[in-house]
Amino acid sequence: MSPEPTDTGCLFCSIVAADIPADVVGETEHSLAFRDVNPQAPTHVLVVPRRHVANAGELAESAADELGDVVLLARTVADQDGLGGDYRLVFNTGEGAGQSVFHAHLHLLGGRAMKWPPG
Ligand code: 5GP
Ligand code: ZN
């Protein structure tokens, strides 16, 4: 699928374009992984599709392979950070669920014990 135009008002499109700096820890043709600026765990990385879509559902609908690529890159970064297979993956979808940036992103959290249910 051909890339959609960059959303000029979008923070994560700006990070993908390297217009805004980020601590990048991994990348593929379709995805970019960088550390969250406000980490909630020793490892807190955001994995985003390079293409602008608003949320995980839209990504799955438009390109399921790109959704898979995001998840695989998260696993690669979890391995790089030595998490030993223990980590949490979260897609917040919608303001009511805590989504604040409307460019799909997968949170990779690890390096500490995780509670359930989440807050
Ligand atoms: P959401 O709340 O939409 O699920 O997650 C957005 C995440 O983006 C938050 O965890 C927030 O800390 C992170 N974030 C916001 N602005 C920046 C930024 O400029 N750089 C980085 N690396 N992360 C950011
Ligand atoms: Zn975007």
Fold classification of 15-110 is: HIT family, subunit A (3.30.428)
Instruction: Quote the pLDDT of residue 8.
Output: 74
Q: Residue 76: which of 39, 108, 111 has the closest Cα?
A: 108
pLDDT beyond 60 at 114:
yes
Check residues 64 and 2 and name the one with the higher pLDDT.
Answer: 64
58 lines ligand 1 (CB under 6 A): no
Q: Is 98 in the pocket of ligand 1 (CB under 6 A)?
A: yes
CA atoms of 94 and 66, how far apart (whole Å): 20
Please tell me the distance between residue 79's alpha carbon and the centre of ligand 2 in angstroms.
26
- Angle formed at CA 81 by CA 13 and CA 111, multiple of 5 degrees: 100
pTM across the whole model: 0.95
Please give the share of the chain, as a percent, with pLDDT higher than 90: 92
For atom 16 of ligand 1, the residue with the nearest CA is: 37
Name residue 87's beta-bridge partners. 110
Q: Is 107 a catalytic residue?
A: no
Give the residue extent of every domain in the chain: 15-110
Q: What pLDDT does residue 7 have?
A: 67
Question: Which atom of ligand 1 lies at the shortest distance from residue 23's CA?
Answer: 22
Question: Cα(81)–Cα(103) distance, rounded to whole angstroms?
Answer: 24
Spatial CA neighbour of 20 closest among 33, 11, 32: 11
Which pLDDT value is given to residue 3?
Answer: 46
**Residues 3-24 pLDDT 10s:** 444 667 999 999 999 999 999 9
pLDDT of 99 > 80? The answer is yes
Output 7 or 102, whichever has higher pLDDT.
102
What pLDDT score does 2 carry? 38
Establish whether the linkage from the previous residue to 118 is cis, with ω within 30° of 0.
no
Q: Torsion angle of alpha carbons 77, 80, 84, 90, nearest 10°?
A: -10
